[in-house]
Structure 1
């Protein structure tokens, strides 16, 4: 019998260009939670964009200290709390943030992994890591949204690590994010194929 929720389809549907596979544990968790297909599609898209950012920034500034795997896992689970707080799939609310962190911890994930669910909206807070900034940026730019205040934060970290002027990094990051944002219509159409 076919799954009426569309969850397997959301986890495995092909896209053009192809989306990278979710990190170990993320897909299994979404299956176990019977996560809404629209949420799964969203997490796959943000995960893919975060992978693009991490790949490009790793090549652009090898001296920038960040954990690529943490970025990918964080992007793949940043909104997992919406599997429980389903009203926030189509409406406002932030209960999914702490709820997602608690959900990840309850399923055996570490605090380090679970932090992204609770912090990705807190990018302006002191002590936010490069990994959290990349997840927050991916969560905006996947749909073509640009947030200058957010984008300025990784610019400063990259410029410091590269020993270069922030304006030069800003130009390069702007070009990268602009290129990623150009695919927003395609990504939004992919997400729209799946029910809330």
Structure 2
């Protein structure tokens, strides 16, 4: 199979994952992203969809930019196009590289920022959108990060006026539900090669 056909398959394979936003699809195709990267972004994006739905349902008074969260999740690791070694190993060079790459492609800052913020949820200027993308990038594979979950809980409780323990219990249940399908998402991602 060619790179383009593998990418197309990763974008469209019916495994119960939400499709990526069309703008993200165009970017990934234009940049000739790795099939593995596309599969990863689709898995994280699907979890971001679920988290955004949960926030909208359980905290309807909390304003957030759903479209930004979904685009951010769909492109947060786009810098790995320039740093493919970080697809199979550790590294953070893809974060500033992805931000710069998105800006150079005409993506506005409020959408490009997720490429650089998805691993820095303790920054002073972090928003609920940043936290949701960061959380999606962890829980897609059933990884739970206590300080990240605490930040989201605090933000939701403060904004909604609910008790933090109430917010955390509900969030914990949702994260457990999402994590229960991590094996499906991991299998989907690993079924695609890093290179064609």
- TM-score normalised to structure 1 length: 0.96
Q: Which string of whole-angstrom CA distances, capped at 9 and with x for unpartnered residues, describes residues 105-146 of structure 1? A: 111110111000001111011120000000000000000000
Q: RMSD in angstroms over aligned alpha carbons?
A: 1.0
Cα gap change, 1:191/1:173 in structure 2, threshold over 3 Å: closer, same or farther?
same
The answer to whether the aligner puts 1:107 opposite 2:114 as a matched pair is no
The whole-number CA distance in structure 2 between the counterparts of 1:127 and 1:135 is 15
Q: Helix, strand or coil for the counterpart of 1:42?
A: helix
The answer to whether the aligner puts 1:134 opposite 2:135 as a matched pair is no
Alignment length, in residue pairs? 193
- TM-score normalised to structure 2 length: 0.96
The whole-number CA distance in structure 1 between the counterparts of 2:26 and 2:117 is 23
Residues 93-172 of structure 1: pairs in structure 2 closer than 5 A: 93-172=91-170
Please, which runs of 5 or more residues in structure 2 have no aligned partner?
none
The whole-number CA distance in structure 1 between the counterparts of 2:10 and 2:183 is 18
Q: Answer whether contact 1:64 1:157 (CA < 8 A) is retained.
A: no
Q: Answer whether contact 2:11 2:19 (CA < 8 A) is retained.
A: no
Query: What is the CA distance between 1:63 and its match in structure 2?
Result: 1.3
Please, which runs of 5 or more residues in structure 1 have no aligned partner?
none
Residues 1-196 of structure 1: pairs in structure 2 closer than 5 A: 2-4=1-3, 6-15=6-15, 18-196=16-194
